[in-house]
Amino acid sequence: MDFRKGEVLAFDKPYGWTSFGLVAKVRYQLCRKLGVKKLKVGHAGTLDPLATGVLLVCTGKATKRIEELQAHTKEYVATLRLGATTPSFDLEKPIDAEYPTEHITREMVEEVLTRFVGTIEQVPPVFSACKVNGSRAYDLARKGAEVELKAKTLVIDEIELLRCELPEIDIRVVCGKGTYIRALARDIGLALRSGAHLTALRRTRVGPYGVEDCLRLDDFAGWLEKQTIETTEEQ
């Protein structure tokens, strides 16, 4: 493998890790293995700390492919808790409001999910990496500032109801670039005349990279030891 010339590595990001933190760990181990002080390493498509699953990491000249890789279709499996909301739309923040769920049926959930398939408008969460006047929305939100984000047009190819044990549901979502599953949870809750937030999220596929093909971060050092390393001098 030639990490300077460029490789794309698929990792199963562990729960609680930031995407940036995983990249930093990979960069450190690669630099140590290669005996260099610096190496370009970046990721394609941020995963929230509380999410797990496929995170693509590009090294060397393959960092030029990040935009192309971010455009791949993605697949997620998400658990939603209906009847309660949080400011972050996931478990990062505590529940701030509760809503009735007695009126919700499986048939109602299935009908509501069909409304989100196709080209939709979605307002990103304020606790997100979207930029507002040059600052990250989550930095402003954590400082208590009022953050107003504009709706973005995006495409959801499929939504499948995997489990319905009210007030919890599991869904599988196949979607394009820029989709926030946390925001989808918020909008599903509203459409059900209730509220909702994510309690679990796993990205199971990015383009051709499935979670079954991914490296585990704990195994990376051992995997690296077994690789035949080629070195291309950077131009």
The three-class DSSP label of residue 209 is strand
Angle between helices 106-114 and 181-191 (to 10 degrees): 120
Alpha-carbon torsion, ordered 164, 124, 14, 140, to 10 deg: -130
Active site residue 90: no
Using alpha carbons only, give the angle 151, 202, 183 rounded to the nearest 5 degrees.
Answer: 20
Note if the bond before 167 is cis, omega within 30 degrees.
yes
Beta strands in the chain (DSSP E): 8-13, 41-44, 51-59, 74-82, 84-85, 97-98, 118-122, 131-132, 135-136, 152-165, 168-175, 196-206, 209-210, 215-216
What is the β-pairing status of strands 215-216 and 135-136? unpaired
Give residue for tokens 């630099």. 31
Nearest residue to 46 via CA among 125, 153, 162 = 125
Nearest residue to 56 via CA among 214, 198, 222, 193 = 214
* DSSP annotation of 206: E
Choose, from 48, 96, 170, 218, the residue flagged as catalytic: 48
Say if residues 33 and 90 touch (Cβ distance below 8 Å).
no
Q: Write out the catalytic residue numbers.
A: 48
